[in-house]
Amino acid sequence: MSSIPTTASEIAAAIAAKEITAREVIDAHLARINARESDIHAFNKVMADEARAHADAIDADIAAGRPVGPLAGVPIALKDNMCTRGVETTCSSKILEGWKPPYDATVVTKLREAGAIVVGKTNLDEFAMGSSTENSAFGPTRNPLDIERVPGGSSGGSAAAVAAGFAPVSLGSDTGGSIRQPAAMCGVVGVKPTYGRVSRYGLVAYASSLDQIGPFATTVADAALITEAIAGHDVHDSTSIPQDVPSFVEAAGQGVKGMRIGRVTDLPEGAEPEVTARLNAAFAALEAAGAEIVDVQLPSLSYALTAYYLIAPAEASSNLARFDGVRFGLRVNAPDTNAMYGATRAAGFGDEVQRRIMLGTYALSAGYYDAYYGKALKVRRLIADDFNRAYEKVDVILTPTSPVVAFKFGEKVDDPMSMYLCDIYTIPTNLAGHPGMSVPFGTGAHGLPVGIQVLAPALGEVPMFRVGGALEAAAGGAQ
């Protein structure tokens, strides 16, 4: 067997040039999965037979001279909250165990049309609610860099799959940092595009005004490539932005000369000293590469966590009402309909999901709506306004992705507030609807990776990828 390239762009190029076959690529990645998956548990389902059949079809097309897509033969893993036709999609919840959607999510359709091969559905915190992938009904995912530690969450399975080499790229969803935070903890690149840049059709909703799909990759160029492939307007998603997609791949190699990089002087405290040191090193590296560092203020940022944990659970309590034992998934029989609803939801939802549903229902209830949910929406507006004022002075803003490196299992599981604080730097961007990405930039405590977060204004993916590419180059390439 020829040596297998490591990045998605290299794999696609080698297959198109007939230097290697799609089947060889898939077999190599499935062998890696077989070797380590039992230790890591990145997947809820490995789709080995389907992946091999798709690879053989691509090889037949190439042999016959038929056109293939730009990602032909590239293995990709999908977070198990994205609908895949005829393939179990569980959201890592007992309430959806065994449910097979009758359609594909738009991102799945786009990737398949481009020739990418789905190798499996990845584990997550149940219904994407969590920061460590400890809340899955099917057991936790372990960090490939240290299996005693969490991979982050909620897209921990997708981050771990890329970090372990099970797939060169994967998709996750990001509601309050669920792509960027696990990317930081697993030492890979993670991108949350602008809200509406990528269709949410077929993504099982957590909080509809915050959710966004994006990629994990080992390089900024690969992350740009996959973002390009899945971005664009979709008539099936009313929040999808009808705007052309520029070349993010090109942007990733353009450098930062002349760019203005924002340093937040009133950033919420709490980051480990080593994380702060890496952030300062990132500013120095970008300045050395020709960028100007400009101080900015974001005074409303300290309220973001509070606003998020009212808005997101409120939307979740509405979205998750559909899981009631009637139309799909788990059903616990009971003497009457109301008893069946209660029994099904009590048996089907885990503790964290129940906690957020109750919190959201309370925030939306009569007498409390204005005091909690209404006020949180006003704070959301203030945060967006703060960002907009800052972006009048700078092209992008740099912060840590996570205040801490990957922590050990059980360390925060009994302290929800401590767990929620892991998303303190990622949540504000979701509230504003702006893009953000995490790029590995050296190591912190225990020799574990630190991610630097690049934030940009709405539809500002081009400057974001420019800075991401420069950070990667300064860090010495892929970690």
Query: Which positions are annotated as active-site residues?
Result: 79, 154, 178
Buried b (16+ CB within 10 A) or exposed e, 220-250: bbbbbbbbbbbbbebeebeebbeeebeebbe
Pairing of strands 43-46, 213-217: unpaired
Cβ within 8 Å of residue 379, ≥6 positions away? 300, 303, 304, 306, 307
